[in-house]
Amino acid sequence: MHAFAILLFTTLASFINANAKYRTRNSSIKGLTVAVINNCNYPVTIEANGMTLSTKALAIGQQCANVGTSTGSGNIYFQAQGSGSLSGSNIGIGTLLEWSVDVAQAEFWYDISNVNGYNMPMTVTLKNQPNCQVLSCHGFVCPNDGERYTVKTSNGVSITYCGNPTKDDPNGVFPSAMNKTTTCATAYNWSGDNTKTYQCPGIVQTATVSLCKP
């Protein structure tokens, strides 16, 4: 009986340990979690493709550790709350965080895109990934012949959106101005600039997006 009890205990312990390892291995989502810090002096609204959002608005100074998660490809877009004077084809003009999760290759690709225009200064860092590129684009002034859209936020702050009419031309006014601005050097500023899409190993990622100020 003593030997049988030992055998039973050993078998049970092995089963518990195996399941504990299984639970640990599956406790993290294979994909991207986005955290956002609103350092702007106005509230912002959030829209996304390829991601289910847990919140669609952030007040001034508000932080959210999990705005949403994605297990594939997608993008997330921020705009000043109350900037309803944009209409028609101008809706959605602005800065995007874009990503792609490749589960098969265990790779993660990401970029800040101004291909459709610039509206929101942001900095993007990946949690616990010191060797992966920090993305940043802020302090940009729209060139004179860019498409400018001045909008007023819900708390009365006036901001300027900048369209990108030459998005397919690397020598166009907007991409050239963007690429010469050191604070936007890591951003994807024209449609063919794939050198600004960055790769980071691993398929469990958390990106922190700091809006307006790093």
- Determine the average pLDDT of the residues in 2-10: 42
Q: In this prediction, what percent of the chain has a pLDDT beyond 90?
A: 38
Give the pairing of strands 96-102 and 73-80.
antiparallel
Question: Out of 2-6, 55-59, 68-72, 101-105, which region has the weakest mean confidence (pLDDT)?
Answer: 2-6
pTM summary value: 0.79
* Cα–Cα separations (whole angstroms), residue 16 to 3, 13, 21, 35, 192: 20, 5, 9, 34, 52
Which pLDDT tens digit goes with each residue over 200-214? 988 889 999 999 988
Q: How would residue 14 be classed by pLDDT, with cut points 50, 70 and 90?
A: very low
Report all structural domains of the chain as residue ranges with CATH numbers, in order of start.
30-211 (2.60.110.10)
Query: Residue 111: CA atoms inside 13 Å, Cβ hemisphere, count?
Result: 18
DSSP symbol at 118:
B
CA 152 to chain CA centroid, nearest Å: 24
- Determine the average pLDDT of the residues in 133-150: 80
Give the pairing of strands 204-211 and 31-38.
parallel
User: What is the token pair recorded at 85?
Assistant: 């004077």
- Determine the average pLDDT of the residues in 12-38: 55
